[in-house]
Amino acid sequence: MKLTAQIDKDYKSMDRYFHKLFNLLREAQEDDKATPVEMYNCDADVSQASYHSFSHYIKPDMIMNIYSLADYWMTRICEYQKINKNLNLESKDIKGNNELQAKHKYLTEYAGLNLSTVQSSYNCLNELRKVRNAFVHGGGHISKERQSQFSSINGIVLSESLICIEDSFIWNTLEHTKKYLRKSILA
């Protein structure tokens, strides 16, 4: 199976999975609304809550999945271009400010691919990387100094220091990931 077909298969699987997750999210949010307000002993060692919400885990999980998809396939595409163009270096030999930039640099500067038509998709992947890192390293909270950087990302809303992910960010990022990966093979 060609790489483009494999990427398309993974994209379609993730798209289907996300539709099911969004249905689950709506159900969980309805459950959250129907839950009566309870008083808790904040000094307790174990939660006294009778209801435990999980709706706030769904969208960050989607972010992790999209980033994993991009990271996995970018590594495979770099390997493909190395073999296809008979290159000496591997993507891990190229340095960048982060892994995403290093792989992009490998593809554009070392392998010589023209990815200018998907620059906006690369920019979207970089925003995805920043949001993903904020969840991995800070539980979705960011410092005051970084809030302006995140508030300028389409589909991201800040509630004080907490990142809130709009549905549009998920779908837009997934689509841009597919565009970037496909172009990286076909360029």
What is the DSSP code (8-state) at residue 141? B
Cα(123)–Cα(113) distance, integer angstroms: 17
Cα(38)–Cα(161) distance, integer angstroms: 25
Type of residue numbered 158? L
Closest to 167 measured CA to CA, from 29, 30, 19: 19
Type of residue numbered 170? I
What residues have CB less than 8 Å from 35, skipping those under 6 apart? 51, 53
pLDDT in tens, 2-57: 999 999 999 999 999 999 999 999 999 999 888 777 666 777 788 766 667 889 99
The verdict on pTM exceeding 0.85 is yes
Q: Is the distance from CB of 187 to CB of 115 less than 8 angstroms?
A: yes
Instruction: For the chain, give every domain's residue range.
Output: 3-186
Q: Is 121 exposed, middle or buried (0-12, 13-18, 19+ CB in 10 A)?
A: buried
pLDDT in tens, 121-137: 999 999 999 999 999 99
**pLDDT cut 70: percent of the chain above it:** 96
Closest to 173 measured CA to CA, from 147, 187, 155, 159: 155
What residues have CB less than 8 Å from 94, skipping those under 6 apart? 102, 103, 105, 106, 109, 110
What residues have CB less than 8 Å from 118, skipping those under 6 apart? 179, 180, 183, 184
Q: Is the pLDDT of residue 94 over 80?
A: yes
Query: H/E element holding 156?
Result: strand 156-159
Q: Is the distance from CB of 9 to CB of 35 less than 8 angstroms?
A: no
Place of tokens 């970089």: 126
Closest to 174 measured CA to CA, from 130, 129, 124, 135: 124
**Both structure tokens of 42:** 């904040």
**Greater pLDDT, 48 or 87:** 87
